[in-house]
Amino acid sequence: MKELQELAQSVEQGQVQKVSGLTQQLLDSGVSPQTVLNDGLIAGMTVVGEKMRSGEMYLPEVLQSASAMHGSLKILKPHLVREGAQSRGKIMVGTVKGDMHDIGKNLVSIMLQGAGFDIVDLGLNVPPQKFVEAITAHQPAILGLSAMLTTTMLNMKTTIEAINAAGLRSNVKVIIGGAPVSQKFADEIGADGYARDAVLAVDKVKQLLGVTA
């Protein structure tokens, strides 16, 4: 469908107003919100992810595309809820205790939303016990922990230990990300995965949940 292709291209190009307008236009013409999400937003953000991975797009452009997609999601969300659209899974994210950085976490959240996942964002400076309580309340499939400082990255380990102590570790996969962390560190603290950037975070989530597309 021409309009859906145009929506996907507009997301890729970061055209905020056009994306919102096309989203409303498609809904008004009777296209299902799930189709708009899958064939418009997810299709567009998939191309963005591929171009970011290959070096054809850089962070400012990706953020612009993400902003365009986010505006469309605000329009789509009530329709998806009413339609009973099925999520690909619930992902919880948060920046660990002592750390006030959120650009990377926010980009990961938006990219995951664009890939069809529901996001629970606990925000910044999240203590281990708050993660434990939120896992109990929301029952996410995956928890994403973010840290940007070498002084706070050890709180990822503390958080995983708290989840273990609460008997919840078998209920949730844990992935980590942020400038100072690595796959080696993820292995050392018992995380299930590591992602260097937002594109790889989406890939890792899909891998852990067995999502193929």
- pLDDT tens-place values along the chain, 213 residues long: 899 999 999 999 999 999 999 999 999 999 999 899 889 998 998 898 889 889 999 888 988 998 899 899 889 988 887 877 677 899 999 999 999 998 889 889 988 887 889 999 999 999 999 999 999 999 999 999 999 999 999 999 999 999 999 999 999 999 999 999 999 999 999 999 999 988 889 999 999 999 876
Query: What's the CATH code, domain 90-209?
Result: 3.40.50.280
**CATH fit for domain 2-83, picks 1.10.1240.10, 1.10.10.10, 3.40.50.300, 1.20.1250.20:** 1.10.1240.10
The number of residues making up the chain comes to: 213
pTM for this entry: 0.80
